[in-house]
Structure 1
Amino acid sequence: METKRSPKNIFVQGPISPESIAKSIANHSSKTDIGGHSIFLGQVRADEKEGGKVTAIEYTAYEEMALEKAFEIREAIFAKYPLSCMHIYHSLGEVKAGEICLFVFTSSKHRKAAIDACEELVERIKKEVPVWGKELIDNDGSVWKENV
């Protein structure tokens, strides 16, 4: 009897800490069948805007739909690539310029599968998962961010 996997919570309140990223990497040292990892870290930029400089992004999501979509993407990537494991973490709430807001980590027996899967995963998350970012500007303004 096959058990149906359910969506994992990919959301983290606030920025993704360097310590949690390091811990996730360290947890894989005992998995000796893995030959390659690929990691993507999305960081908030301090872009210059018409009204000033971006100081942070406030992320919101339609969480139930976002988790379902992330699960669907995750399952498709697992079906397409020979991965050992995959981790996705996305921030909600305020993330300041310079902090990490997206952490995608794929592992495989060989590097090419890990790299290709990570790249496709990031692109699909940005295009398909209903997460929105409002850029907070240093003059007390804000602008909704477009995912590109």
Structure 2
Amino acid sequence: MRYLMIVKATAESERGEFPPDSARLFAEMAEFNNEMIAAGVMLDGAGLKPSSKGKRIRFEGRGNPVVTDGPFAETKELIAGFWVIECKDMDEALSWARRVPFEAGEVELRPYQEPEDFEGLGVVDQEVIDQEKGWRDEQARNAPKAAG
């Protein structure tokens, strides 16, 4: 099952600032990422630029999107980065989330709605479910691999 580990934004990340010990932090993050890659759980991950560089698109009826330029006021609702990981269950995903090399901050862990979750419900055609599974499998094939 895939999980999204969401790095919550802070006032500093929203200002585009790195911590004073960022060289050490980035080295620790690289080591952590390499451990996840070697374990075969990391599918993707990245830091995000501050919301001032982004846009928010709100939909008020089909075909009527409203675009708002960042920055966005509620830092506690923003994300600063993420990992996509694939683990056998929530306990394994949680074990990785607990190892994030942060001294402060917050990470949110959320399971994906997988194609299999829709099987037998009658809300999605099997063809669509199979297509989604194919996309997931392709993503896993394209995920970073540990050097052999």
TM-score, length-scaled by structure 1: 0.37
Find the structure with the greater CA-based Rg.
Answer: 2
Structure having the higher strand fraction is 1
Which is bigger in relative contact order (C-alpha 8 A, separation at least 6)? Answer: 2
Which has more helix, going by share of residues?
Answer: 2
